């Protein structure tokens, strides 16, 4: 009787038909544009020239540098914050928790306008910042600000879930065994939460690299200073489709590579755990 | 040094910057192109640049009023509008722009070329001499498929075939020939209904490189600069 499993038969039929149909449609819907991008890019003769052009490399370098800085800030500040959110159930912590989710639902362009209203020349604290010699809007700093704003929730949320999955008992046991709180955190809690943190970091990084709306509003589109890859694609679209295609393929390749690395990293970690 | 310039100046200013760099060894000109209105708002919100070249006086005057411009802006080029269409498409003359179902690419009205376009449509509707009817402007606007953020986008929409026709600058014809677009049709707009777009240029008040900025403006106004602009179809004011 073990081979005849009535439950899975019943549920598998709709899953097979509807799910199969849905899967085909979905693969076409996502796959076709990606394929079209690759086909069109392959058709152009000067693809390599466009990929290695000054403008493309400048934008790529800026994207990499700014996203690395953003992620460093997000990890250093976000990790203790996420730990606090995971361990505290006070009203304040719950309010903070909702605030962390806000950038996820807020359109990035609104985030850009909001940051301009805060840090811009005529912004809430912008003139004070300027008087001490700090200009943020339309500088590389603004790019980093925009990336942190939109990408940090992905890391903090994931890290929080990671910390929550580490039972408080482990920490208590470690401490009853005489391990003091700091080593407990670094040697028990952090390693156990690491897989969730890595996957959160991967998502946050992807989000930072693809950031467009807030950057456009708050940082502008200055070559070499604030023009990241997505903005360079937008600008290239104005003058040459070829340039835009080349840059798009570069970002696509980066995304796929990121997915693969993320998959390998998290899988190994989780497997090691079980 | 950094120069903010209207999108329609893309080709001409790339050449001018190159010539300027050749004349002043060691100087690197960073050019940023965009809709004049966007460049203006970026400057208002604290973007740092040395020179601003606008496609209309409205954006420049706004900066002058806020005392962001050093000295007075100088007009350095003139431009007018033209209808760009697909050669085998449904638009062969200006009247076709109003035909139902035709897809027209226009820039947003906040952008100089967008407001010029509406002005031209208005002129064409008002004067019975063109025989287009007083509803012409509204019919064309109803056919508008987008409000592009600058002229290059309106141009590209037609080149990519996403729009049947668009209203762009006369200087875009040179650009179209330059990139080897063969299937394009340029439909002139009658002079009396056309606009004369004046391009002002100015050094900005908190320019990081004020001397270089002044030199650059002088170069644009010099015969060398004017020749390069004329090569792209601009005329001298």
Tell whether the model's pLDDT for residue A52 goes beyond 90: no
Q: Do both B69 and B50 map to the same domain?
A: yes
Tell whether the model's pLDDT for residue A152 goes beyond 90: yes
Q: Do both B88 and B186 map to the same domain?
A: yes
**Residue A120, min C-alpha distance to chain B (Å):** 6
Tell whether the model's pLDDT for residue B29 goes beyond 70: yes
Q: Do both B130 and B219 map to the same domain?
A: no
Q: Do both B88 and B175 map to the same domain?
A: yes
Interface of A with B in 188-227 (CB under 8 A): 220-224
Residues belonging to chain B with any Cβ–Cβ distance to chain A shorter than 8 Å: 2, 7, 10, 30-34, 42, 44-48, 150, 152-153, 156, 160, 179
A176 in B contact zone (CB under 8 Å):
no
Tell whether the model's pLDDT for residue A214 goes beyond 70: yes
Residue B92's domain spans which residues?
81-193
The neighbour count for residue A54, using CB atoms within 10 Å, is: 9
Query: Rounded to two decimals, what is the model's pTM?
Result: 0.81
Contact B173, A254 (CB under 8 A): no
Q: Do both B89 and B155 map to the same domain?
A: yes
pLDDT above 90 covers a percentage of chain A that reads 49
Subunit contact B44:A237, Cβ cutoff 8 A? no
Contact B39, B32 (CB under 8 A): yes
Contact B171, B10 (CB under 8 A): no
Q: What is the per-residue pLDDT for A99?
A: 92
**Residue A220, min C-alpha distance to chain B (Å):** 7
- Tell me: the pLDDT tens digits for B81-137? 999 998 888 999 999 999 998 999 999 888 889 999 999 999 999 988 888 988 999
In a domain, B148, yes or no: yes
Q: What is the per-residue pLDDT for A1?
A: 43
- Tell me: the pLDDT tens digits for A235-249? 888 777 888 899 999
Tell whether the model's pLDDT for residue A5 goes beyond 60: no
Tell whether the model's pLDDT for residue A11 goes beyond 90: no
Q: Do both B89 and B178 map to the same domain?
A: yes
Average pLDDT over residues A126-130: 85
Q: What is the per-residue pLDDT for A271?
A: 53
Beta-carbon contacts below 8 Å between A and B: 49
In a domain, B237, yes or no: no
Q: Do both B72 and B93 map to the same domain?
A: no
- Tell me: the pLDDT tens digits for B180-199? 566 788 999 999 999 999 99
A80 in B contact zone (CB under 8 Å):
no
In a domain, B150, yes or no: yes
Average pLDDT over residues B57-68: 93
In a domain, B225, yes or no: yes
Q: Do both B96 and B169 map to the same domain?
A: yes
3-state class of B164 per DSSP? coil
Q: Do both B101 and B179 map to the same domain?
A: yes
CA distances from A259 to A53, A205, A227, B127 (A): 26, 11, 24, 61
In a domain, B111, yes or no: yes
A36 in B contact zone (CB under 8 Å):
no
Average pLDDT of chain A is 87
Find the residue in A nearest to B31 (Cα).
Answer: A223
Q: Do both B106 and B182 map to the same domain?
A: yes
CA distances from B134 to B90, B125, B137 (A): 22, 5, 7
In a domain, B207, yes or no: yes
Longest dimension (CA), chain A: 80
Q: Do both B130 and B189 map to the same domain?
A: yes
In a domain, B236, yes or no: no
Tell whether the model's pLDDT for residue A121 goes beyond 80: no
CATH of residue B212's domain is: 3.40.190.10
Average pLDDT of chain B is 91
CA atoms within 13 A of residue A266's CA, in its CB half-sphere: 17
Q: What is the number of structural domains in chain B?
A: 2
Confidence of residue A10 (pLDDT cuts 50, 70, 90): low
In a domain, B109, yes or no: yes
- Tell me: the pLDDT tens digits for B135-148? 999 999 999 988 88
Q: What is the per-residue pLDDT for B71?
A: 85
Find the residue in A nearest to B4 (Cα).
Answer: A222
Q: Do both B189 and B93 map to the same domain?
A: yes
Q: What is the per-residue pLDDT for B203?
A: 97
Contact A39, A185 (CB under 8 A): no
Find the residue in A nearest to B29 (Cα).
Answer: A223
Contact B50, B29 (CB under 8 A): no
CA angle A47, A51, A54 (to 5 degrees): 130
């Amino acid at each position: 009787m073990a081979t005849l499993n009535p439950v899975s038969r019943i549920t598998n039929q709709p899953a097979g038909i509807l799910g199969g149909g849905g899967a085909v449609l979905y693969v076409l819907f996502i796959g076709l544009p990606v394929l079209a991008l690759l086909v069109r890019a392959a058709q152009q003769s000067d693809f390599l020239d466009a990929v290695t052009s000054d403008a493309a490399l400048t934008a790529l370098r800026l994207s990499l540098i700014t996203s690395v800085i953003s992620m460093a800030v997000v990890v250093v500040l976000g990790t203790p914050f996420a730990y606090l959110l995971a361990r505290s159930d006070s009203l304040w912590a719950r309010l903070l928790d909702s605030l962390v989710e806000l950038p996820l639902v807020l359109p990035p362009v609104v985030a850009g306008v909001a940051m301009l209203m805060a840090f811009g020349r005529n912004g809430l604290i912008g003139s004070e910042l300027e008087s001490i010699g700090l200009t943020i809007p339309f500088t590389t700093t603004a790019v980093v600000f925009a990336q942190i704003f939109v990408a940090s929730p992905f890391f903090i949320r994931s890290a929080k879930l990671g910390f929550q999955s580490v039972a408080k008992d482990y920490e208590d046991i470690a401490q009853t065994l005489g391990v003091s709180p700091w080593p407990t955190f670094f040697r028990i809690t952090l390693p156990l939460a690491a897989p969730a943190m890595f996957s959160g970091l991967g998502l946050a990084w992807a989000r930072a690299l693809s950031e467009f709306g807030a950057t456009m509003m708050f940082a502008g589109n200055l070559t070499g200073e604030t023009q990241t890859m997505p903005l360079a694609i937008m600008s290239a679209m104005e003058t040459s489709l070829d340039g835009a295609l080349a840059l798009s393929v570069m970002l696509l390749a980066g995304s796929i590579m990121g997915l693969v690395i993320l998959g390998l990293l998290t899988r190994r970690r989780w497997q090691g755990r079980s | 040094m950094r120069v903010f310039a209207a999108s329609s100046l893309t080709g001409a200013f790339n050449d001018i910057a190159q010539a300027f760099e050749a004349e002043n060894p060691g100087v690197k000109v960073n050019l940023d192109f965009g809709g004049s209105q966007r460049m203006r708002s970026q400057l208002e919100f604290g973007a740092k640049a040395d020179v601003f070249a606008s496609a209309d006086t409205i954006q420049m005057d706004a900066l002058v009023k806020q005392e962001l411009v050093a000295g007075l802006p100088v007009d350095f080029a003139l431009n007018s509008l033209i209808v760009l269409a697909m050669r085998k498409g449904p638009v062969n003359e200006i009247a076709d722009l109003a035909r139902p179902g035709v897809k027209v690419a226009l820039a947003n009205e906040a952008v100089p070329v967008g407001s010029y376009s509406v002005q031209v449509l208005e002129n064409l509707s008002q004067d019975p001499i063109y025989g287009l009817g007083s509803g012409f402007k509204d019919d064309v606007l109803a056919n508008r498929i987008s409000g592009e953020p600058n002229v290059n986008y309106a141009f590209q929409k037609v080149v990519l075939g996403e729009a049947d026709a668009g209203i762009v600058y006369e200087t875009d014809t040179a650009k179209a020939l330059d990139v080897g677009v063969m299937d394009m049709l340029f439909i002139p707009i009658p002079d009396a209904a056309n606009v004369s777009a004046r391009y002002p240029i100015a050094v900005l008040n908190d320019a990081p490189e004020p001397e270089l900025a002044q030199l650059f403006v002088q170069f644009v106004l010099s015969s060398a600069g004017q020749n390069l602009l004329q090569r792209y179809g601009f005329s001298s004011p």
